[in-house]
Amino acid sequence: MFEVEQKHVEDLIHQYCQENDLPDVEIKWSWIPFNGQWGISTSFFQLASRSFGTVKGNVGQKAKEIAQNVAGYLGQVPGFEKIEAVNGYLNLYFSTADYFQRVVDKVLAEGTEYGKGARTNRQLMVEFSHPNTHKAFHVGHLRSAFLGDVLARILEAAGNDVVRVNYPGDIGLHVIKWLWNYLKYHKGEKPEKDITRWMGNLYAEAVKRLDQDPELEKEIREVYTRWDQRDPEVVKCWEETRQWSLDGFKEMYDLLDIRFDRYYFNSMFEKPGKEMVEELLKKGIATDERAEGGAVIVKLDEKLGLKEEKYRVMVVLRSDNTALYATEDLALAKRKFTDYPNLEKAYYVVDVRQSLHFQQVFKTLELAGYEWASHCQHVPYELVNLPGNVVMASREGTVVLLEDLIREATSRALEVVKIKNADLPEEKQLDIARAVGIGAIKFPMLSRESNKIVTFDWQSALDFNGQAAPYIQYAYVRANSILRKVNQEIPASLKPSIELTAEEVALVDWISRMPEEIQKAARDLKPLVITNLAYELARAFNDFYTQCPVLAAEEPVRSMRLRLVAAARQAICNSLVLLGITAPQAM
RNA sequence: GUCCCUGUAGCGCAAUGGAUAGCGUGCCGGCCUCCGAAGCCGUAGGUGUGGGUUCGAAUCCCACCAGGGACACCA
| Domains of chain A and CATH, by start | 3-94 (3.30.1360.70)
- The confidence score (pLDDT) of residue A394 equals 79
Query: Which region, left, alpha or beta, applies to residue A234 given φ > 0 means left and ψ of -120 to 50 means alpha?
Result: alpha
Average pLDDT of the segment spanning A221-227: 90
- The confidence score (pLDDT) of residue A397 equals 78
Task: With beta carbons less than 8 A apart as the criterion, state whether A406 and A378 touch.
Answer: no
Average pLDDT of the segment spanning A148-177: 96
- The confidence score (pLDDT) of residue A145 equals 97
| Per-residue pLDDT band at A388 (split at 50, 70, 90) | confident
Average pLDDT of the segment spanning A407-436: 96
Q: Give me the amino acid identity at A353.
A: R
d(CA A439, CA A33): 30
List the alpha helices (DSSP H) in A213-231.
217-228
Judge if the beta carbon of A87 is closer than 7 A to nucleic acid strand B. yes
The answer on pLDDT for A251 being more than 90 is yes
Query: What average pLDDT does the structure give for chain A?
Result: 94
- The confidence score (pLDDT) of residue A487 equals 80
Average pLDDT of the segment spanning A397-425: 94
The answer on pLDDT for A324 being more than 80 is yes
Judge if the beta carbon of A450 is closer than 7 A to nucleic acid strand B. no
- The confidence score (pLDDT) of residue A197 equals 92
Which of A173, A260, A186, A261 has its CA nearest to residue A220?
A: A173
d(CA A404, CA A386): 15
Average pLDDT of the segment spanning A218-240: 92
Judge if the beta carbon of A21 is closer than 7 A to nucleic acid strand B. no
Task: With beta carbons less than 8 A apart as the criterion, state whether A402 and A252 touch.
Answer: yes
Which of A550, A449, A538, A558 has its CA nearest to residue A496?
A: A558
The answer on pLDDT for A340 being more than 90 is yes
Three-class DSSP category at A480: helix
Query: Which region, left, alpha or beta, applies to residue A454 given φ > 0 means left and ψ of -120 to 50 means alpha?
Result: beta
- The confidence score (pLDDT) of residue A445 equals 95
Say how many C-beta atoms besides its own lie within 10 A of residue A372's C-beta: 19
Average pLDDT of the segment spanning A333-345: 98
Which of A284, A296, A246, A247 has its CA nearest to residue A267?
A: A246
Task: With beta carbons less than 8 A apart as the criterion, state whether A333 and A365 touch.
Answer: yes
Average pLDDT of the segment spanning A66-85: 94
- Nucleic chain B contacts, protein chain A, residues 407-446, CB cut-off 7 A: 413, 416-417, 420-421, 432-433, 436, 444
Q: Which of A33-47, A105-119, A238-252, A373-387 has the lowest mean pLDDT?
A: A33-47
Distance A230 CA to B30 C1' (A): 73
d(CA A467, CA A471): 7
Judge if the beta carbon of A76 is closer than 7 A to nucleic acid strand B. no
Distance A92 CA to B25 C1' (A): 37
d(CA A270, CA A370): 20
C1'-nearest nucleotide to the CA of A169:
B75
- The confidence score (pLDDT) of residue A363 equals 97
| Per-residue pLDDT band at A515 (split at 50, 70, 90) | very high
Task: With beta carbons less than 8 A apart as the criterion, state whether A66 and A77 touch.
Answer: no
